[in-house]
Chain A
Amino acid sequence: MTHSIAGRSTLVAGALVLILSVAIFAGVRFGLLLMIGLGFGLVLEGLRFGFAGPWRAMIVRRDPSGMLAQLMAIGIVATVALPLIDASGGELVGAEAPVGWAMIGGAFVFGMAMQVVLGCGSGTLVNAGSGNPIGLLALPFFAIGSFAGAYHLIDWTELGALPIIRFTGWSGVAITLTALLGVAVFFLRQAAPEHRSIPRRYLIAAVLIAVLAIANLIVVGQPWGVVYGLGLWVAKGATASGMDLSGSAFWAASGSVERVQSSLLTDYTSLTNIGIMAGAFLVASWRSGGLSQGMPTLPMRAWLATIVAGFLLGYSSRLAFGCNVGAFFSGVSTGSLHGWVWFVAAFIGSIQGVKLRPLLGLEARS
């Protein structure tokens, strides 16, 4: 029984042994990053904070509280990250990517698919780790989609893209905070009167997520991301099975080849992904009744839709240069214009996804 003192002590001891093992056998930086990843998992599952759910709450109930907390977290990170990146001389980099046709289309599809399975990049990891069968089924297809999207990424970017546009330093902080405030005011004006405040747990979660995201940037020199690691897992499996990746401009590039050949325990996004899943598992095991929930009874088309949406989440997020975490959260908080464009396109996609979900049998029709 994980709810006994002995059971809970075993969980904590297991997490500590995992972190220490990675620190000793791979490197202290990697152990630290795994600890940060576990922190993400503990906060996201423990405080029931995420991206897909709050977006749905805004669309369905005109409840912007979760989205306001997300904007607050992004604002905190931007205030610290932008001046740090500016002064770091290349030790720290932001989540910079170009705005382009494939990027916009990818973000739209991602927003739609994430409402179908009710899980974004981090959300799918949290859901799988806490035993949600939809998340568990979607995750491997998400990873396959991420691998395939990266495989074709260069072809898609040739559809046309702007140069990378960034807001840097303190002027970047001012622009980003002003824009975040503008979005917050817009959502507050749309909000139902009973939903015009942020619950305490969201405020705590926003601050903790911001602190962890800043720690991620300082420790490894790049912002928090999710989908690169998932695609890398499949690329490693494909290479181990004898698949030739030289036909892909992405996977055949020297940096990609080196990462495919290196240990997963030295890949930054893989480590935070592992930490998120393990952290969510820890909370679900710790929480009274957290794992005793039964399986949902869903029609076959709902399970098929989960597989397709899982694949689309992975594929589209590579074309969009990230998911809610890598593109929206990290993109906006480190001054990349593509983060803002991603947000608009994915939110429009989410509105369509909310309509699709009942049609695919994933909830009772209203």
Chain B
Amino acid sequence: MTRRTTAGVAMAMLILLIAADLTASPPNPYRQPAIVALGSGAASAGGFCGALPE
């Protein structure tokens, strides 16, 4: 067995994760934020490793 197999498994896991999520929580392109945060006038609101819960 080579890394071709393990890299393939990694990509398969990633595709499976995205596919399962698309089924459960499909994105809505009509509710997208401004293309770039800088200059958007909107406060930053993403999840982050350092942030405590709101």
24 contacts across the A-B interface (CB closer than 8 A): A25-B27, A26-B27, A29-B32, A30-B27, A91-B44, A92-B37, A95-B48, A97-B52, A131-B7, A132-B6, A133-B6, A154-B53, A157-B52, A220-B44, A221-B44, A225-B49, A228-B47, A254-B54, A265-B18, A268-B46, A269-B48, A284-B3, A322-B50, A323-B49
Q: Which of B2, B34, B35, B50 contacts A326 (CB 8 A)?
A: B50
In the complex, the answer to whether B44 meets A284 with C-beta atoms within 8 Å is no
The smallest C-beta distance from B46 to any residue of chain A, in angstroms, reads 4
Contact B27 A256 (CB under 8 A): no
Nearest-Cβ distance from residue B5 to partner chain A, whole angstroms = 8
Task: Please give, as numbers and ranges, the residues of chain B lying within 8 Å of A362 by CB-CB distance.
Answer: none
Do A24 and B3 touch across chains, with their CB atoms under 8 A apart? no
Chain A residue nearest to B11 (CB atoms) is: A281
Is there a chain B Cβ closer than 8 Å to A338's Cβ?
Answer: yes
Chain A 46-80 interface mask (CB, 8 Å, partner B; 1/0): 00000000000000000000000000000000000
Q: How many residues from B make CB contacts under 8 Å with A? A: 47
Q: A221-B46, A293-B3 are in contact. Are A236 and B34 (CB under 8 A)?
A: no
CA distance A36 to B21 in the complex (A): 21
Which of B's residues lie within 8 Å of A, judged by CB? 1-11, 13-14, 17-18, 20-22, 24-29, 32-54
Determine whether the beta carbon of B49 is less than 8 Å from that of A131.
Answer: no
CB–CB A249/B53 < 8 A: yes
| Also in contact, A91 and B43, with CB within 8 A (given A27-B29, A32-B35) | yes
Give A237-251 interface residues, CB cut-off 8 Å to B.
237, 240, 249-250
Instruction: Report the minimum CB–CB distance from A177 to chain B (whole Å).
Output: 22
Compute how far the CA of A139 lies from the CA of B25 in the bound complex, rounded to whole angstroms.
23
CA distance A235 to B11 in the complex (A): 20
**A285 within 8 Å of B (CB atoms):** yes
Q: How far is the CA of A154 from the CA of B37 in the complex (A)?
A: 29
Within A7-29, which residues are at the interface with B (CB < 8 Å)?
24-29
A22 nearest CB across to chain B (Å)? 8
Chain B residues within 8 Å of A84, by CB: 38
Contacts of A90 in B (CB 8 A): 43-44
B50 partner residues in chain A, CB cutoff 8 A: 95-97, 225, 321-322, 326-327, 330-331, 336, 338
Known: A255-B47, A274-B14. A218 touches B2 (CB 8 A): no
CB distance from B3 to the nearest CB of A (A): 3
- Indicate with 1 or 0, residue by residue over A205-234, a CB within 8 angstroms of chain B CB atoms: 000000000000011111101111100110
Which residues from 87 to 115 on chain A have a C-beta closer than 8 Å to any C-beta of chain B?
88, 90-93, 95-97
Looking at the complex, which one of B9, B33, B49, B54 makes contact with A321 (CB distance below 8 Å)?
B49
Are B21 and A263 in contact, with the CB atoms below 8 A? yes
B17 touches A264 (CB 8 A): yes
Using A26-B27, A218-B36, A219-B36 as known contacts, say yes or no to A281 and B52 having CB atoms under 8 A apart: no
Query: What's the Cα separation between A140 and B25 when bound, in Å?
Result: 21
Chain A residues with Cβ under 8 A from B17's Cβ?
233, 264
Q: Contacts A261-B25, A277-B14; is A132 near B43 (CB within 8 Å)?
A: no
B7 cross-chain contacts in A, Cβ below 8 A: 129-131, 281, 284-285, 291
Q: Tell me, yes or no, whether A128 is within 8 Å of chain B by CB.
A: yes
Task: With A254-B54, A265-B27 given, name 17 new contacts (CB 8 A).
Answer: A25-B27, A29-B32, A128-B10, A129-B7, A131-B5, A218-B36, A221-B38, A221-B44, A250-B52, A263-B22, A281-B11, A284-B7, A285-B7, A321-B50, A322-B50, A327-B49, A330-B50
